């Protein structure tokens, strides 16, 4: 009874906020300025991380670039400098907590306070549970989610002190919906989405409204990360398109960025439609990629 009454009392609020969201849809959003800020991007030696670095370089930020791949990160840094930005490449294996903490210390001493952190580095092993080695399962979690804890612990305190900053989580559509033969990857990306959502609430609970959060959840992207992906949900995304959406989302302080945005609708369907219909729908989506199957029916 109590709950019903509570809900009725909250109805006017619901209506006001629905109208507000609807109106906001039609008002172009203002992009914030990031000039002069120090931006750290993990996994900046290739793909999404690299292109994101280029976009931030054009916006007159200082870049701190982390990757396990030395030549990749140096190429990215060179191009950022050509675009007119300061760039500081660091070779860091994000699956190693001690490397993250020691690199973070060096960054603070040599460059300064990071105010935009983009946790982008990721790994994937496309195989069924039995063909995925234990060490690969551990690596997936270390890079795709545990690293986010260590980098955030290292750089968030200064952002909180200044009540200014932005933590960006690169997750995946696979952080909301599941796909066979991506068991470790999906569970690590669900964890990354959970990390982003819980961190967002924690910052609000602590009154740090100046520290923003964004989470990117894209479908397959043409970076070579997953081999030969395809789905009827749409063509494999070009990395440029994803990064354009990511930058717009960060600069307008959007919390959840789906690419394509139709994924949002699919997520809503998954929560309300009957299981059997969803099975048919998923079959029609026909999600495919190269994977190793270790299980054998004897």
Ligand X SMILES: NC(=O)c1ccc[n+]([C@@H]2O[C@H](COP(=O)([O-])OP(=O)(O)OC[C@H]3O[C@@H](n4cnc5c(N)ncnc54)[C@H](O)[C@@H]3O)[C@@H](O)[C@H]2O)c1
How far, rounded to the nearest angstrom, does the alpha carbon of residue 162 sit from its chain's CA centroid?
24
Burial class (CB in 10 A: 0-12, 13-18, 19+), 194: middle
**Given the rule CB under 6 A, which of 8-16, 28-36, 47-55, 160-168 is the region that contacts ligand X?**
47-55
Say which entry of ligand NAG, ligand X, none residue 188 contacts (CB below 5 to 8 A, set by partner kind): none
- Answer yes or no whether residue 72 interacts with ligand NAG by CB under 6 A: yes
Query: 103 or 263, CB closer to ligand NAG?
Result: 103
The strand ranges marked E within the chain are 38-42, 62-67, 87-91, 116-119, 165-170, 211-218, 256-259
Query: 176 or 208, CB closer to ligand NAG?
Result: 208
The least distance separating ligand X from the CB of residue 14, rounded to whole angstroms, comes to: 33
Give the length of the chain: 298
> What are the distances in angstroms from CA 140 to CA 134, 185, 187, 191, 200?
10, 6, 9, 11, 23
* Among the listed residues 59, 60, 75, 231, the single contact to ligand NAG using CB under 6 A: 75
- Sequence-separated contacts (24+) of 223-228 with Cβ below 8 Å: 223/46, 223/47, 223/48, 224/47, 225/47, 225/122, 225/124, 226/124, 226/126, 226/289, 226/290, 227/126, 227/289, 227/290, 228/288, 228/289, 228/290
How far, rounded to the nearest angstrom, does the alpha carbon of residue 147 sit from its chain's CA centroid?
12
- Are the beta carbons of 78 and 2 closer than 8 angstroms? no
Say which entry of ligand NAG, ligand X, none residue 71 contacts (CB below 5 to 8 A, set by partner kind): ligand NAG
SS3 235: coil
- How large is the greatest C-alpha to C-alpha distance in the chain, in angstroms? 65
The least distance separating ligand X from the CB of residue 24, rounded to whole angstroms, comes to: 27
The least distance separating ligand X from the CB of residue 243, rounded to whole angstroms, comes to: 9
The least distance separating ligand NAG from the CB of residue 197, rounded to whole angstroms, comes to: 25
- Answer yes or no whether residue 122 interacts with ligand X by CB under 6 A: yes
Query: 126 or 200, CB closer to ligand X?
Result: 126
By beta-carbon distance, which residue lies closest to ligand NAG?
72
- Answer yes or no whether residue 45 interacts with ligand NAG by CB under 6 A: yes
Say which entry of ligand X, ligand NAG, none residue 120 contacts (CB below 5 to 8 A, set by partner kind): ligand X
Active site residue 125: no
- Answer yes or no whether residue 69 interacts with ligand NAG by CB under 6 A: yes
Say which entry of ligand X, ligand NAG, none residue 21 contacts (CB below 5 to 8 A, set by partner kind): none
Q: What are phi and psi of 62, to 5 degrees?
A: -100, 135
Residues that bind ligand NAG (CB under 6 A): 45-46, 69, 71-72, 75, 112-113, 158, 161-162
What residues are labeled active site? 185
Residues that bind ligand X (CB under 6 A): 42-43, 45-49, 67-69, 72, 92-95, 120-123, 143, 170, 172, 218, 220-221, 223, 225-226
């Amino acid at each position: 009874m109590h709950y019903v009454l509570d809900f009725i009392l909250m109805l006017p609020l619901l209506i006001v906020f629905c109208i507000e969201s609807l109106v906001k849809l039609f008002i172009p959003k203002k992009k914030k300025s990031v000039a002069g800020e120090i931006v750290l991007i993990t996994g900046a030696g290739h793909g999404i991380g690299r292109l994101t670095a280029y976009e931030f370089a054009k916006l007159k930020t200082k870049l701190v670039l982390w990757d396990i791949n030395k030549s990749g990160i140096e190429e990215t840094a060179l191009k950022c400098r050509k675009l007119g930005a300061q760039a500081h490449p660091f070779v860091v294996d994000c699956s190693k907590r001690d490397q993250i903490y020691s690199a973070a210390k060096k960054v603070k001493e040599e460059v300064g306070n990071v105010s935009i952190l983009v946790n982008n580095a990721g790994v994937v092993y496309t195989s069924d549970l039995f063909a995925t080695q234990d060490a690969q399962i551990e690596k997936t979690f270390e890079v795709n989610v545990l690293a986010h804890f260590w980098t955030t612990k290292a750089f968030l305190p200064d952002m909180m002190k200044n009540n200014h900053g932005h933590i960006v989580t690169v997750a995946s559509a696979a952080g909301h919906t599941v796909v066979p033969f991506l068991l470790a990857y999906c569970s690590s990306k669900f964890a990354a989405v959970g990390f982003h959502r819980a961190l967002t609430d924690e910052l609000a609970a602590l009154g740090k409204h100046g520290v923003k959060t964004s989470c990117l959840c894209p479908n397959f992207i043409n970076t070579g990360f997953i081999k030969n992906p395809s789905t009827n949900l749409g063509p494999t995304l070009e990395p440029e398109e994803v990064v354009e959406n990511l930058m717009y989302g960060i600069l307008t302080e959007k919390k959840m960025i789906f690419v394509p945005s139709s994924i949002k609708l699919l997520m809503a369907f998954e929560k309300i439609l009957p299981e059997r219909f969803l099975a048919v729908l998923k079959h029609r989506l026909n999600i495919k990629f190269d994977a190793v199957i270790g299980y054998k029916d004897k």
